[in-house]
Every structure is written in C-alpha cells, then in structure tokens.
C-alpha cells in the first residue's frame, strides 16, 4: 500500500509587510553605513517578493520616515500598540528597530507560534475529510526559530484533543529543508504500520530574528525571511474517491562536497536572536551541484533517465530560498516558467518561511487547475551544510488535466491568523 500525503494546509500571521516599505524601514536605521544602505536597497529590490507575513504587530502601522501611523503593514484587523507596554521590536517614537535579547525573542515565539501551528493542523485534518483527530497516531513538528518544552508537539496533542498515547517527535534546528526529514519519518511510520496517520506541522517565526545591520548576510535575511505554518496528513489508508493525493515515491538527502557550502549557509544562536549566515555564493553553489543532488532520487527510477528531467517530471516544487536560487535551478535543470510558477508565486506572496515553505509550494501544485492523475512531482529544498533534500511524488485521484478535482475536503483559501494571541481565541 503506497504512503501518501492526503492533505496540505497552511496558515500565516495576519500582519502583512509590504516589501518596499520594509526596505525603507531597514534602510532608514541609524548606524547603517553607506555600503549597507546600497546593499539593503539592492537586496530588497532584487528579492522578487511583494509581501511577507510577521507576528510582530508593532510593525502593523508604522511609517519608517516619521514613526506615524500608516499602512506599512496592510492589516485591517491589527490593532496598533496601546502604549501601555514598552515596545520590543520597533520604537515608533524614534523610528528605530530595537535589539531585544534572544530570551525576549523566544518568549514571543512561545506565545505566538501556537495559534498558527494549531490553525494549520486543524485545517489539514479538516481537509482529510474521512479522518478525525482520533485517527492521528503520530505527530511530527518542525521548527528552527524557537524552543520550548513542552513544545509544539505537546500543544498539538493537548489542544486538538489527540490521544495522550499519540507518539510525538520534533525535528529541530535543521533549517529550510526540515519538512523532508519529517516526511521521511512519516513514510517510515506508515510503512511499519499501514494503519498509521501522521500529522506533520512546520512552524517558523523567522522575523523574530531580523535586525538592523550593515552585514550583507543580515541584510539578505531581512529581505527574504517571513513567518508561516504548514501542516500535512500522511497515511497509507485509502483516500475517498476523487480526492487528490501525493504518493511518496522516494526521498533522498545529500551534501555538497567537503569544503563546499558549509560556511556559506548556517544558523546559530546569538545573544540578540539567531544569527543567519547566507552568503551571496549560495545560488552559485546550488547551480553547480543541483545535478549531482538530483541524481540519487532519480536513480530510484531508472526509467526517468529516458528523457531530460524537466520533461520526465511535470511539476516542480523548488524551495524558494530566494530569487537567485530559483533562477539558477531553472536554468540548470532547464525548467519552464510554468514549472517554476508555484515556487515563484509563493516567494512573491509569502517570502521564505524556512521549513514549511516547500509545503506551501506543494499545496499550490495540489490545488492547481491542471493536475492530472499519474503526473509526477519533484520537490527540492536546501539548508545548512549545504544540505539538499529531494523527493519524488505521484499525483493520485486527480482527473484528467483541466477537469475539477477535490484536494482533501475542499480547495479552501489560505488562513490568516491574528497576530495577537488574544484575538485568536
């Protein structure tokens, strides 16, 4: 019995940051060097991002030029800070981005990650119409932007009313490829026990660690990273007729050669948040090693070598770590604009949400208008190391291309969760 992804659902904070205004906010910070200002403008303008989401409500109504109320973040539901508590991330009176310590940032993670991860999990369960919370046997959570114990796995079991005997696992601090180890664990659980139902939830609040700096790596991070959650149901139980699912055919992992990329992408804990190293050489490294990285997963099906990879696989879910990465992969693998459209669309609307981002892209494919039964999907994500995770999937239950299809219960719109936990209750 094949193991399949039965549903994928996502959630984002309700505070929406417009890229141009975020660029101006970071570019106006005191202490930024002239070179830093130029890099800031270039990085934001070349990002191919229009909007991102954040749990930082202080950014919901701030003019970077004068600190007055405006629509820096287009969020009609958000309330401006009341002024009863000192600001944590942004001081509107001075127009400065603040530098809270790691503990303060992690406190916000603990508080504001919960509504997002629970919403995504509930929606994934609802989309798998024949399954309920009582069917879930395993929970796998993924995050690299905060820590707590009990953690997100515990909150899912308690708040969703899962059995206290549910087996819980957490994939921590692996970065943008973290969804792949979670999918691999879920597949293995279902192979060992075909009655298993695994709930995967990725939750990342990357914007908690953004800061003003003239350092190029910090500027690039500020220009691309965002907040979001994604959840998936994985099982080998048969799906109802007409429901589009993704068979997990193969999952592989590889590293770039020794000495290549290890120092160019890293994620460490500092005194003022987590420190991202994301050098300008990463797109170059990805371009020159993507063929070798794809080789193991394609080797699982020699028949795919008959034609080019772009022709053999109809749909591609490339982790949108940045515009340059997508450009280099598209050129190297010879993918069409249509094949890269889901990845570019997620990047444009949501930015890079670390581990859950590739699930956002897979959801776009599942809900696309032209999915057909038997069509293939290749997913790829990159992370510290430099690590490359790959997966091959087959669409099942889909009608012929262009005909209507169900994905889970329905093709529901993506949820936006209030930034304030009180609003979410």
The verdict on whether omega for the bond into residue 150 sits within 30 degrees of 0, i.e. cis, is yes
**Residue 169 phi, psi dihedral angles, 5° rounding:** -140, 150
Minimum mean pLDDT range among 83-97, 116-130, 317-331: 83-97
- Residue 60: DSSP 8-state: T
User: What tens digit of pLDDT does each residue of 215-262 get?
Assistant: 999 999 999 999 999 999 999 999 999 899 999 999 999 999 988 988
Helix count and strand count (H, E) for the chain = 12, 16
Q: For the purposes of burial, counting CB atoms within 10 Å of the CB of 23, is it exposed (0-12), middle (13-18) or buried (19 or more)?
A: buried
pLDDT bin (cut points 50, 70, 90) of residue 48 is very high
**Which CA distances in Å does 303 have to 69, 272, 300?**
59, 51, 9
pLDDT at residue 27, rounded to an integer = 96
Strands (E), 216-313: 227-235, 245-255, 265-270, 273-278
Using alpha carbons, list the distances in angstroms from residue 287 to 308, 325, 385, 407: 17, 8, 15, 33
DSSP string, 151-196: -HHHHHHHHTT--TT-EEEEEES-GGGTHHHHHHHHHHHHHH-TT-
Amino acid 279: pLDDT: 81
Mean pLDDT of the chain: 89
Specify the pLDDT at position 92: 85
Averaged pLDDT, 58-86: 52
Whose CA is closest to 14, among 61, 46, 47, 67?
61
pLDDT at 69 over 90: no
Instruction: Judge whether residue 310 has pLDDT over 70.
Output: yes
- Evaluate if residue 151 carries a pLDDT over 90: yes
Enumerate long-range contacts of 262-266, CB under 8 Å, 24 or more apart.
Answer: 262/385, 262/386, 264/386, 265/175, 265/382, 265/383, 265/384, 265/385, 265/386, 266/384
pLDDT(301) > 60 = yes
337-350 helix and 323-333 helix, angle to the nearest 10 degrees: 170
Predicted confidence at residue 84, as pLDDT, reads: 61
Question: Which percentage of the chain shows pLDDT scores above 90?
Answer: 78
b/e code 359-393 from CB counts within 10 Å (16+ = b): bbbbbbbbbbeebbeebbbbbbbbbbbbbbbbbbb
| Number of Cβ within a 10 Å radius of residue 275 | 18
Rounded CA gap, 325 and 331, in Å? 10
Angstrom distance (rounded) from CA 55 to CA 63: 18
Cα–Cα dist 295/332, whole Å: 14
Kindly state the average pLDDT of the residues 100-110.
97
How far separated are the first and last CA of the chain, in Å rounded?
40
Above 90 in pLDDT, residue 411?
no
pLDDT tier, 71 (very low <50, low <70, confident <90, very high otherwise): very low
* pLDDT value of residue 399: 55
pLDDT tens digits for 312-365?
Answer: 999 999 999 999 999 999 999 999 999 999 999 999 999 999 999 999 999 999
Q: Can you give the pLDDT at residue 276?
A: 84
Q: Quick one: which H or E segment has residue 71? A: none
List the catalytic residues.
176
Name the one residue in this structure whose structure tokens are 């994604």: 230
- In this predicted structure, the answer to whether residue 408 has a pLDDT above a threshold of 90 is no
Q: Are 133 and 160 in contact (CB under 8 A)?
A: yes
**Percent of the chain, pLDDT > 70?**
88
- What average pLDDT does this structure show over 267-275? 91
Q: What is the mean pLDDT of residues 165-178?
A: 97
Range of weakest confidence among 43-52, 219-228, 358-367, 401-410: 401-410
Q: Residue 407 has what pLDDT?
A: 46
- pLDDT (0 to 100) of residue 412: 41
- The Cα–Cα gap between 96 and 77 comes to 24
Whole-number pLDDT of residue 179? 98
Instruction: Report cis status (omega within 30 of 0) of the bond before 386.
Output: yes
pLDDT value of position 34: 96
Q: Collapse the DSSP code of 298 into the 3-class scheme (helix H, G, I; strand E, B; otherwise coil) and give the result.
A: helix
Q: With cut-offs at 50, 70 and 90, classify the pLDDT of residue 295.
A: very high
170-200: string of b/e by CB count within 10 Å (b at 16+)?
bbebbbbbbbbbbbbbbbebbeeeeebbbbb
What are the structure tokens assigned to 238, written together? 């048969």
Does the pLDDT at position 128 exceed 70? yes
Q: What mean pLDDT do residues 291-315 have?
A: 93
Q: Please give the C-alpha separations between residue 382 and each of 12, 175, 264, 334, 386, in angstroms, as whole numbers.
A: 22, 8, 12, 19, 7
In this predicted model, which residue has the larger pLDDT, 259 or 200? 200
- Written as six digits, the tokens of 336 are 């069409």
């Amino acid at each position: 019995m094949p193991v399949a992804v039965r549903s994928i659902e996502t959630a984002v904070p309700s505070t929406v940051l417009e890229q141009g205004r975020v660029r101006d906010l970071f570019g106006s910070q005191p202490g930024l060097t002239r070179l830093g200002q130029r890099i800031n403008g270039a990085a934001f303008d070349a990002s191919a991002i229009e909007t991102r989401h954040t749990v930082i409500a202080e950014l919901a109504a701030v003019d970077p030029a004068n600190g007055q109320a405006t629509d820096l973040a287009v969020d009609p539901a958000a309330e401006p800070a009341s002024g009863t508590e000192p600001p944590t991330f942004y001081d509107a009176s001075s127009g400065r981005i603040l530098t809270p310590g790691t503990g303060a940032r992690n406190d916000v993670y603990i508080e504001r990650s919960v509504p997002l991860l629970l919403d995504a999990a509930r929606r994934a369960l609802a989309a798998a119409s024949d399954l309920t919370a009582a069917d879930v046997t395993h929970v796998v959570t993924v995050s690299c932007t905060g820590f707590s114990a009990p953690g997100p796995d515990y909150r899912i079991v308690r708040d969703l009313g899962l059995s206290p005997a549910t087996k819980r696992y957490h994939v921590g601090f692996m970065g943008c490829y973290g969804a792949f180890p979670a999918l691999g664990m879920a597949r293995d659980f279902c192979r060992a026990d075909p009655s298993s139902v695994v709930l995967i939830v990725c939750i990342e609040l990357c914007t908690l660690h953004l800061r003003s700096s003239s350092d190029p790596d910090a500027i690039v991070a500020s220009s691309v990273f965002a907040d979001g959650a994604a959840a998936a149901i994985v099982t080998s139980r048969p799906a109802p007729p007409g429901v589009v699912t993704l068979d997990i055919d193969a999952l592989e992992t590889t590293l770039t050669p020794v000495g290549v990329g290890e120092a160019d992408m890293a994620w460490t804990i500092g005194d003022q948040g987590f420190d991202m190293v994301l050098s300008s050489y990463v797109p170059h490294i990805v371009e020159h090693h993507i063929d070798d990285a794809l080789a193991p997963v394609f080797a699982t099906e020699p028949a795919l070598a008959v034609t080019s990879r772009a022709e053999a696989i109809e749909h591609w879910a490339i982790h949108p770590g940045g515009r340059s990465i997508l450009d280099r992969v598209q050129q190297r693998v010879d993918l069409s604009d249509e094949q890269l459209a889901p990845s570019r669309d997620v990047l444009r609307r949501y930015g890079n949400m670390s581990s859950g981002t590739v699930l956002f892209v897979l959801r776009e494919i599942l809900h696309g208008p032209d999915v057909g039964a038997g069509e293939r999907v290749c997913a790829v994500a990159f992370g510290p190391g430099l690590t490359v995770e790959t997966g091959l999937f087959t669409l099942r239950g889909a009608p012929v291309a262009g005909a209507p299809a169900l994905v889970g219960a329905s093709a529901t719109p993506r949820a936006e969760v209030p930034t304030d936990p009180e609003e979410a209750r």
